[in-house]
Structure 1
């Protein structure tokens, strides 16, 4: 199975590093290694219609950079492998833009968007409660606001990454 094409939002470099550090700490505690680059998916498709990519390049620059607030933990999946994510909320402007892009994607889920950051991908169901407990223990209660600094189109089959919106205006420590 080929990975789908995506329109993604990437975190600031510092926050991406913080998430990768959480992944590393969870691995030290015996949980499966997480290989994914931390990101927030807007929409995906086996083959992304280029009109969706074009529209994303038109509307995302006005809403990136963006702030996301961590509002909970959710579990996706109903079978043996499940995914643990931080549930996020963002500005109305980005929410409206993302829903428009989702609706434009012919192979998408319609105008629905559930912003989330995957913290544990395809975990065995029996590990999920312990994984969430460990994640809660190591994630700072102050790490609640995430900054999205770049939106990209990602085509895994050719490793093409096209920047659609770049909100990096300076480095923050």
Structure 2
């Protein structure tokens, strides 16, 4: 059984996802930890999301997705031994407003805060984070600045179920 939380996620266009998987493979070939995650941007998550959160996401996201996203920097999340390296993203006002409203409804969340980011490295040992960021900078060339959130979905890992909320 999965211990992963339920999530409202944004998924990229297939071509962009393939490009990111190529970067993951290149990082692994350089000796960095393998990245198995499907490239996505989380809107909110909880051990179990309420029906209210899912309903509101299904109402708001079809008007906001697809949406453009622009990479504006690299961030590191975490304070312990294993950290997360991500690309910080900016998006449309419509998606930002919708995501903040959805996040605010999640009683297990952090209120209306939303930091749109695309995780590029999960569980990276703290001591190799600087090398990982340098390699990511080399591999994430200038053409990797623009992305499209093509779909939004509710992912329930315990039952391996994705419910499409917006997009194709």
**Structure 2 residue aligned with 1:104:** 105
Deviation, structure 1 residue 75: 0.1
Q: What residue is the counterpart of 1:126 in the other structure?
A: 127
Deviation of 1:142 after TM superposition, in Å, equals: 1.9
Report how far residue 138 of structure 1 moved.
Answer: 1.2
Q: TM-score, normalised by structure 1?
A: 0.95
**Superposed counterparts of 1:75-114, under 5 Å:** 75-114=76-115
Deviation at 1:139, TM superposition (A): 1.3
Q: Distance in 2 between matches of 1:139 and 1:92?
A: 25
Which residue is 1:171 aligned to?
A: none
Find the counterpart in structure 1 of residue 153 from structure 2: 152
Aligned length: 167
Equivalent position of 2:138 in the other structure: 137
Let me know the Cα RMSD of the aligned residues.
0.8
- Structure 2 spans left out of the alignment, 5+ residues: none
1:139 and 1:63 mapped to 2: Cα distance?
26
The residue that corresponds to 1:162 in the other structure is 163
Q: Paired residue for 1:3?
A: 4
Check if 1:38 corresponds to 2:42: no
- Separation in 2, partners of 1:138, 1:69: 17
Q: Which residue of 2 aligns with 1:28?
A: 29
User: What does residue range 57-72 of structure 1 map to in structure 2 within 5 Å?
Assistant: 57-72=58-73
Unaligned runs of 5+ in 1: 169-173
Q: Which residue of structure 1 aligns with residue 116 of structure 2?
A: 115
**What secondary structure sits across from 1:22 in the alignment?**
helix
Structure-2-length-normalised TM-score = 0.98
